[in-house]
Structure 1
Amino acid sequence: MELRGERECQSCGVQWSYYETGEITCPECGSIRSVGLDEPTTHTAGNTEFELTAVRAEVDDVGVDQLADDAAAAARDYLRRVGFVHAGELQPLDDTVLAASELRRVGATLGRVMRVEDEEELYLLELLRLADQNDRPSADEVPETLTPERGLAVAAAVDIYLTDLRRVHDDRETEVDRVLSGLRSRRKRIEALDGDVDPTEAEQLVRTTRDVSAYLREGDEAALARALERL
């Protein structure tokens, strides 16, 4: 969405930045009457953190199915509010979003199956430990039975990211278009296979997305070359 992020309260005159607070109410008097002081700017990044402390506290008190459901719900709520454009500037694709996307799918799957294997439960616990710390398990740690969840999670997170990328980078050069077209094709392939691809293939999608992002954000020519080489 586009908004005027620099605000001035019409009740008390205090100025603040919506980009920093994420709140439309005046931080001084609580009024919702304000005017924008700057030009409308694309802004999709929510002022929110992924917090799993409450879910982790349940580990010894609930069954794995309930734990999985609660983890999936927390991840789903976070993903509804996440975005990658802050005050018109594209942000990196971080591991928190990727981990939340995977936790949502792993939790939903393990919450409905009749039997959860030990390896699957341990993987759920590892996701719970890492996901809100901007970290996630490596590709070779993914249990074979949860490979589709990793693939679909990566495809979904990349789709969200590329949607925001296009909001702020409409005029693209030919090589960038080639990369974005290739990313779109690979994402669709993973989705068509219901995520059932080798986790290392899914990670290639992540690396290529991060490389084209680095080029657009920082002018990193080497990153663009790596992205083209992978395709």
Structure 2
Amino acid sequence: MAYAWTAIDPDGFILESHYNIISFIFPSALRSEICALMHGLDSLPQNSKITVTTDCAQLLSLWSSYVNAPFIPKLLKEPNHLLWSSIRAIKSVKNLDVTLIKVPAHADDPLNNHVDALAKAAHTDSYLSSRPLSELLAPCILQFNSLPVDMNIRKFVRDIFDAKSLLTLAALPRFNSCSPISDIDWACTKFCLNNNKQFVSHRNGRSDFCSFRIKLLLDMLPTLMLREFLRM
């Protein structure tokens, strides 16, 4: 993934251009747009007034919600919240006057095409490097394995524990003795057990149909009784 931006003067002359790669943590096209905005604002001097043009409508919407508005705790539950917190910090510390304008995508805009070409060039530049932590200016940065967690923290922790639980289940001797772990589609198994939103009949908070599926799964597991039967 990569980002790029170009600064022009009121007469349309290019003053500066910049591109770089970004880490593959939580990759998305929107993240590239936010990174370009953050680094572009960070390069400005104090008390600057700037107009930013972008073809990403979602960027404008999130800017209105998370930057041009008082801080709300909901921001910390959103993807890329560290980037948005960094943008808020840059805008506040440098006292920037920023206006975002939407330009049509794929409209053969010369400057838009120029920035797209810069972003593509970043993928082939072997001298570029990404430093995810050094680029962030958020007041609090949670890390996992030395990498910033830029998503809903509660969901991230839950996913980590789910993955560890699934790995523990896959490593049980009852599975290893009958077939390799690689033969079992654990992702599909987890999805089937969790995907019970379409059923409205509940008993003690659990879908009856989901309980039935769990029973079928347990009947298929290579238990000790089944192993004895297979030996016969």
Q: Same fold (TM over 0.5)?
A: no
The structure carrying a bigger helix percent of its residues is 1
TM-score, normalization: structure 1?
Answer: 0.20
TM-score, normalization: structure 2?
Answer: 0.20
Higher relative contact order (CA 8 A, sep 6+): 2
Structure with bigger gyration radius: 2
The structure carrying a bigger strand percent of its residues is 2
